[in-house]
Amino acid sequence: MSLPEVFRILRGEHAKISRVLAVLESQIEAAKHEGRPDFEIVDAIAKYFGQYPDRYHHPKEELVLAKLKERVPDLVPELEVVEAEHKEIAERTTSFAESIAAIRSGAGDETEDFKNLARAFIDFERAHMIREDRHLMPLALEALTEADWQEIDAEISSVDDPLFGPEAEAPFNALRILIMGGR
């Protein structure tokens, strides 16, 4: 069996999310060395996480998790942890955006608060993706049938990624240029 379409999509989206996290990490370095990050880039990152992964990426993963629960009931507690992390990521994304806005308006120590907030966001995202990539997706490839994957593939919706799609949406132009190596 070749790799299921949703598996290829999810793997590609994780790679893209990793690239965005790397840019956020570069903004931590900018804050250390230049005294502040590029808040236009940071705002775009926060907006991207709220607009795409939370709304379109995680629902695809949850289709896989639901089918995996059916096939391997012993994994239900572990799969529920991942589902809870999806909810927590949505909350963290909202909190991240709100905290960035507060930092920009002068609340707290701009550099230190930003670095701590961004580091916690990056670390949680990466740990979550590692759990999925190294443990859950291999289990899904092993446990799910070709018919299961076809059913999942039929249910996923195709939405252009506002950052990595054919054309970046306006709020993501500077971030896209930075990711693609143009700045």
Q: Is the pLDDT of residue 171 over 90?
A: no
pLDDT band at 43 (very low <50, low <70, confident <90, very high): very high
pLDDT attached to residue 54? 86
**Are 23 and 157 spatial neighbours (Cβ–Cβ below 8 Å)?**
no
The domain defined by 5-179 carries CATH number 3.90.870.10: no
pLDDT band at 32 (very low <50, low <70, confident <90, very high): confident
pLDDT attached to residue 108? 64
Residue % of the chain over a pLDDT of 70: 97
Residue that has been written with the tokens 């529920």 in this structure: 80
The predicted model gives 83-92 an average pLDDT of 94
The predicted model gives 158-179 an average pLDDT of 85
Q: Is the pLDDT of residue 148 over 90?
A: yes
The full DSSP string for the chain is -PPPHHHHHHHHHHHHHHHHHHHHHHHHHHHHHHSS--HHHHHHHHHHHHHTIIIIIHHHHHHHHHHHHHH-GGGHHHHHHHHHHHHHHHHHHHHHHHHHHHHHTT-S-HHHHHHHHHHHHHHHHHHHHHHIIIIIHHHHHHHS-HHHHHHHHHH------TTTSSS--GGGHHHHHHHTT--
pLDDT band at 107 (very low <50, low <70, confident <90, very high): low
pLDDT digits (tens, 9 = 90+) for 63-76: 999 999 999 999 99
The predicted model gives 110-135 an average pLDDT of 92
Per domain, the residue ranges of the chain are 5-179
Q: Among 51-55, 82-86, 118-122, where is mean pLDDT lowest?
A: 51-55
Neighbours of 87 (CB within 10 A): 11
Residue % of the chain over a pLDDT of 90: 68
